[in-house]
C-alpha cells in the first residue's frame, strides 16, 4: 500500500499550447440511425436496417455498387480551433470514415462491428465540418452504427429549437427511470431521449419513463428537441440508477481494514481469530502474481519462519467462517506496493480469473479487493475517453472483474483501493491525453465500468502529493480538509483533464475514506478528531470550514478504511477504538 509520488503540479507546464478542449457531446443528428430513417444524413443509396445492429434497433446499410461507394455524409456546425474526436462502429469490407478535406481511417475487413476512431482540430475560422462514411466500389454493403462526433456544437441552424434544460430523474423502480426537463425554446415538434448515441424514447411532452431496464443499473441520458428543420443540441447529461440492488449485509457505516496475511513486518502478525469484531470488511493482503504480466495470482500465507504465531490453514479457514457467521466480509486483496499486475493479453486475463477464483474458492471468501499500484495500470497515448478505454491492461482488467462478478453473483463484494494519483489527479491530468505520466487517472475507466457492481471505493488519502480539488485549490494530506475535498470529488464527479469528458460521481454508500492507522503505517496520518471532522462535514454538512461541498451531504457515506489492522493492533487499537463508536453513532 505504501507509495509516494511526485506532486502532479510539476507536470502542469507540459500542457501549455493544446487547442481548446472539446466538451463531451455528440454533435451529429441521428447518430445511431435510431429514427428508423436516414434523417440527418445525405446518402448515395443505402438504407436503415434492423439487422445487423450493434446497439439499439437500427443501423446504416451503405448502398455500395459497381459505380458507387455508397457514401453517407453529414455536415454539422462546429467551433473554430477546437479539438474533436470522431468514431463509428463499422462492419464489412473496405469501410472508410473521415472528415471531408481532412483525415480519414479505414478497415479492409471487419466480419463483426469494429470501431474506427480519429481526432482532428478545426481551423481558426472553421464553423462547419462534413464527416463521411463509405465502402468501396464493387464490394458488398457496409454497415455502420453508433457514430460519434465528440465535441461542442457551433451556432445552431436557423429554425432549430434550443436545447432542453434542467433534465431531472424522478421516480425509479427496479426496471424503470422517469425523466423530466424544461421546455426547449423555439418551435418544437417533440423530444428525443438518448443514452449515449442510442435513441431510447421519442415523446411530444417534457417527460418520459424509460422501461425494461435491469435492476440495480446506472443509466445516463440526454434530451434533444426536434422539429422539421432539425434537432437541437443535447441537454446536459443526467444519470439515474434503478432500484432492486441486493443487500450484501454491510452495516450502513462500516470499518474496513487490511490484514497482513502473507508477510510479516514491524507491526507483527495478527491471527484471523484475533481480529476484533469491530471490523466489518477484512482485506487479506496480498495476492500477488508470479510475474507482472502472467495474470497468475497466488496467495501464500505467511510462513512460520517469518510469523511465529501463524495459524494452520484449517484454523485460518475456520476463523474466516466465524467472521462470516457474524456478518463480516473477508476479501482477497490483489496487488499492493510490490504486486504489479499487468493484464496485457487476453491469456493473462483468463489466467487472472482462474487463479483468483481458485483463491476465493479455497478459502470461501466473499469477494475481491483491487489494490493495483505502481505500474499495474496505465493509459496508452490517445486513450482519452474513460468511458470507452482501449489500453489492454485496462480493458482486460474490466473484463476479468465482470467475469468474476457474473460467476459469483449479486452478493460478490468488490472493493478498490487506488491512490489519489490514479483517481482525483485525473481531474487535472489524464494519462492517455498526454502531457504527463500515463498512469494519472488510470483507475477511472475501471471504476466507471464497474460502478454498478462496485461495493466500496476507498481511495488511499495518504502517501499523496498535493491534489487540486473541485474548488480549484491544491489540498495537502494529513488534515480534515484533504479528506473532505478528495471525497467530495468522488461523490460529485469531475471533469477529466482536457478530454472533454466528465466522470460521474458515485453513490454515498459506495464511498469510504482510506487512512493510515498510525504514524508508522504511511505518510499522511490524520488524528482521529480531524478524521471525524471530515466525516461530519461529508455526512451532516457541519465542520466544513471554508470548503463548500459540490456533491452535497452524504448520509449514506459508507465508512473508513485503514492500512492496517496489524498497525492498529501495534498502536493499541487507536483507530478502531476511536472510529467504530463514532461510525455507529452517525445517522
Which DSSP state fits 144?
E
SS3 of residue 10 by DSSP: helix
Map 200-245 to HEC letters. Answer: EEEECCCEEEECCCCCCCEEEEEEEEECCCCECCCCCCEEEECCCC
Catalytic residues: 373
Please answer whether residues 368 and 414 qualify as being in contact, where contact means their C-beta atoms are separated by less than 8 angstroms: yes
DSSP structure string for 67-89? TB---EEEEEEB-TTBEEEEEEE
Distance CA 587, CA 537 (A): 13
| Separation CA 366–CA 442 (nearest Å) | 26
Burial class of 186 by CB neighbour count within 10 A (0 to 12, 13 to 18, 19+): middle
How far is CA 215 from each of CA 76, 170, 452, rounded to the nearest angstrom?
A: 37, 16, 10
End-to-end CA distance of the chain: 31
In the DSSP assignment, the letter for residue 275 is: S
- Give the distance from CA 208 to its chain's centroid: 27
Distance CA 224, CA 164 (A): 6
Q: Which helix (H) or strand (E) holds 458?
A: strand 456-460
From 195, 185, 254, 200, select the one nearest 222 (Cα to Cα): 195
Across 109-119, b (16+ Cβ under 10 Å) vs e yields ebeebebbbbe
Question: CB within 8 A of 164, min separation 6: which ones?
Answer: 181, 182, 183, 184, 191, 206, 223, 224, 225, 232, 235
Amino acid at each position: 500500500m505504501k507509495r509516494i509520488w511526485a506532486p502532479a503540479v510539476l507536470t502542469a507546464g507540459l500542457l501549455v499550447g493544446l487547442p481548446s478542449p472539446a466538451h463531451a457531446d455528440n454533435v451529429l443528428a441521428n447518430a445511431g440511425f435510431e429514427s428508423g430513417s436516414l434523417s440527418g444524413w445525405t446518402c448515395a443509396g443505402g438504407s436503415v436496417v434492423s439487422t445487423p445492429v450493434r446497439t439499439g434497433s437500427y443501423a446504416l446499410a451503405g448502398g455500395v455498387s459497381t459505380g458507387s461507394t455508397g457514401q453517407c455524409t453529414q455536415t454539422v456546425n462546429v467551433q473554430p480551433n477546437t479539438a474533436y474526436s470522431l468514431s463509428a462502429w463499422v462492419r464489412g469490407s473496405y469501410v472508410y470514415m473521415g472528415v471531408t478535406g481532412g483525415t480519414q481511417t479505414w478497415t479492409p475487413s471487419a466480419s463483426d462491428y469494429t470501431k474506427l476512431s480519429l481526432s482532428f482540430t478545426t481551423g481558426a475560422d472553421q464553423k462547419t465540418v462534413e464527416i463521411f462514411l463509405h465502402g468501396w466500389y464493387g464490394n458488398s454493403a457496409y454497415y455502420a452504427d453508433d457514430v460519434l462526433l465528440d465535441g461542442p456544437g457551433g451556432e445552431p441552424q436557423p429554425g432549430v429549437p434550443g436545447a432542453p434544460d434542467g433534465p431531472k430523474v424522478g421516480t425509479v423502480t427496479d426496471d424503470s427511470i422517469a425523466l423530466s426537463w424544461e421546455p426547449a425554446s423555439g418551435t418544437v415538434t417533440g423530444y428525443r431521449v438518448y443514452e449515449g448515441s442510442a435513441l431510447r424514447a421519442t415523446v411530444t411532452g417534457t417527460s418520459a419513463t424509460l422501461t425494461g431496464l435491469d435492476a440495480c443499473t446506472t443509466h445516463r441520458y440526454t434530451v434533444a428537441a426536434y422539429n422539421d428543420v432539425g434537432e437541437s443540441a443535447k441537454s446536459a447529461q443526467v444519470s439515474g440508477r434503478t432500484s432492486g440492488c441486493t443487500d450484501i449485509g454491510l452495516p450502513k457505516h462500516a470499518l474496513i481494514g487490511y490484514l497482513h496475511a502473507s508477510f510479516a513486518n514491524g507491526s507483527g502478525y495478527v491471527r484471523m481469530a484475533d481480529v476484533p469484531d469491530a471490523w466489518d470488511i477484512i482485506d487479506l493482503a496480498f495476492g500477488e502474481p508470479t510475474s507482472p504480466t502472467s495474470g497468475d495470482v497466488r496467495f501464500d500465507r505467511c510462513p512460520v519462519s517469518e510469523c511465529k504465531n501463524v495459524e494452520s490453514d484449517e484454523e485460518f479457514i475456520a476463523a474466516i467462517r466465524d467472521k462470516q457467521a457474524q456478518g463480516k466480509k473477508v476479501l482477497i486483496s490483489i496487488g499492493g506496493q510490490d504486486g504489479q499486475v499487468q493484464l496485457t493479453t487476453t491469456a493473462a486475463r483468463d489466467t487472472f480469473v482462474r487463479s483468483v477464483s481458485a483463491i476465493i474458492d479455497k478459502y470461501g471468501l466473499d469477494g475481491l479487493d483491487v489494490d493495483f499500484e505502481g505500474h499495474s495500470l496505465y493509459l496508452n497515448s490517445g486513450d482519452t475517453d474513460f468511458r470507452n478505454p482501449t489500453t489492454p491492461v485496462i480493458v482486460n482488467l474490466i473484463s476479468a472483474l465482470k467475469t468474476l462478478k457474473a460467476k459469483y453473483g449479486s452478493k460478490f463484494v468488490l472493493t478498490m483501493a487506488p491512490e489519489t494519483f490514479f483517481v482525483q489527479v485525473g481531474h487535472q491530468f489524464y494519462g492517455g491525453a498526454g502531457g504527463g505520466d500515463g498512469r494519472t487517472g488510470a483507475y477511472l475507466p475501471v471504476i466507471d465500468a464497474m460502478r454498478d457492481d462496485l461495493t466500496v471505493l476507498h481511495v488511499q488519502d495518504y502517501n499523496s502529493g498535493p491534489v487540486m480539488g473541485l474548488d480549484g485549490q491544491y489540498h495537502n494530506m494529513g488534515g480534515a480538509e484533504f479528506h473532505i475535498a478528495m471525497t467530495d470529488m468522488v461523490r460529485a464527479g469531475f471533469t477529466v483533464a482536457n478530454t472533454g469528458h466528465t466522470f460521474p460521481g458515485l453513490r454515498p454508500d459506495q464511498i469510504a475514506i482510506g487512512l493510515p492507522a498510525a504514524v508508522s503505517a504511511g505518510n499522511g496520518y490524520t488524528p482521529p478528531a480531524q478524521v471525524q471532522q471530515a466525516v461530519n462535514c461529508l455526512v451532516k454538512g457541519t465542520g466544513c470550514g471554508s470548503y463548500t461541498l459540490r456533491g452535497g451531504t452524504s448520509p449514506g457515506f459508507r465508512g473508513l478504511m485503514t492500512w492496517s489492522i496489524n498497525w492498529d493492533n501495534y498502536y493499541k487499537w487507536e483507530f478502531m477504538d476511536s472510529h467504530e463508536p463514532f461510525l455507529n453513532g452517525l445517522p
